[in-house]
């Protein structure tokens, strides 16, 4: 069973010069499934991401309004999201949420746009993939208030263990990035120990967050092997056992939106 990268950004300009070759390399390196995230605020992101998905049966896609750009949300942006989500490979609405670390958009504006992304996911019957920085408890409350019953994945989790336990208790999923390999991320390794394998994902968030020993360099989905192997080691199971569990989780997510 190959590795799954649940969250990457193959539309990134970092990959413009070698995207096709990189994708070939990814799938010959042990990766069997990946999800590439598109950005409705970027001019060519949706087009590039759709072409990537159409060129490989094991690439799936998603899009949503990122909280960083909430101040720029518009009818035109929403139309792009809805059009993109008609694609047969679009498995979820994401990444959407709240980011109180950077606050590039004000909290009130972020919450308004996030509520709309929740509504879109409900209207389409699609899972919701969450971006959260220092906002986990508020996001959980908003999901409760809006009675969101479809699958939820908190991507690139960096919150605390109390919120992680609440996320798991609600039947949601947590996706772990290369941050788990960083020396000062003991808190995240403790969280990984707690997460049941039927509620976990591995991801790269590439081209960002390259794991050790490549920290600071451009990341790519082939390095999800480093992330998943570290997760497996923390949990005391084999990489194969973890990959089987993650693929089962992925299949549940994908099928829930069909």
Give residue 213's Cα distance to chain centre. Answer: 22
| pLDDT less than 50: residues of the chain | none
Domain limits, the chain: 3-256
Nearest to 253 by CA among 168, 175, 151: 151
> Under CATH, which number does the domain 3-256 receive?
3.20.20.140
Per-residue confidence (pLDDT) for residue 92, from 0 to 100: 98
Sorted by sequence, the CB contacts under 8 Å of residue 22 that are 6+ apart come out as 10, 15, 220
Per-residue confidence (pLDDT) for residue 1, from 0 to 100: 77
pLDDT digits (tens, 9 = 90+) for 145-188: 999 999 999 999 999 999 999 999 999 999 999 999 999 999 99
């Amino acid at each position: 069973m190959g590795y799954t990268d649940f969250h990457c950004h193959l539309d990134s300009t970092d990959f413009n010069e070698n995207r096709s070759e990189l994708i070939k390399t990814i799938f010959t390196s042990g990766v069997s499934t990946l999800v590439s995230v598109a950005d409705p605020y970027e001019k060519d992101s949706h087009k590039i991401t759709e072409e990537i998905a159409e060129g490989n049966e094991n690439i799936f896609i998603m899009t949503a309004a990122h909280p960083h750009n909430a101040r720029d949300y518009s009818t035109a942006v929403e139309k792009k999201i809805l059009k993109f989500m008609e694609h047969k490979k679009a498995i979820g609405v994401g990444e959407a949420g709240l980011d109180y670390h950077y606050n590039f958009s004000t909290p009130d504006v972020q919450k308004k746009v996030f509520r709309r992304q929740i509504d879109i996911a409900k209207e389409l019957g699609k899972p919701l993939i969450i971006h959260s920085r220092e906002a986990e408890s508020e996001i959980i409350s908003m999901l409760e208030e809006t009675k969101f019953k479809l699958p939820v994945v908190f991507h690139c989790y960096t919150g605390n263990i109390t919120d992680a336990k609440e996320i798991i208790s609600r039947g949601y999923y947590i996706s772990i990035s290369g941050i788990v390999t960083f020396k000062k991320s003991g808190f995240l390794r403790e969280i990984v120990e707690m997460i049941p394998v039927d509620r976990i994902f591995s991801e790269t968030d590439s081209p960002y967050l390259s794991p050790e020993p490549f920290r600071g360099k451009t990341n790519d989905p082939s390095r999800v092997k480093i992330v998943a192997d570290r997760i497996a080691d923390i949990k005391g199971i084999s990489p194969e056992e973890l990959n089987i569990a993650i693929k089962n989780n992925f299949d549940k997510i994908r099928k829930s939106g069909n």
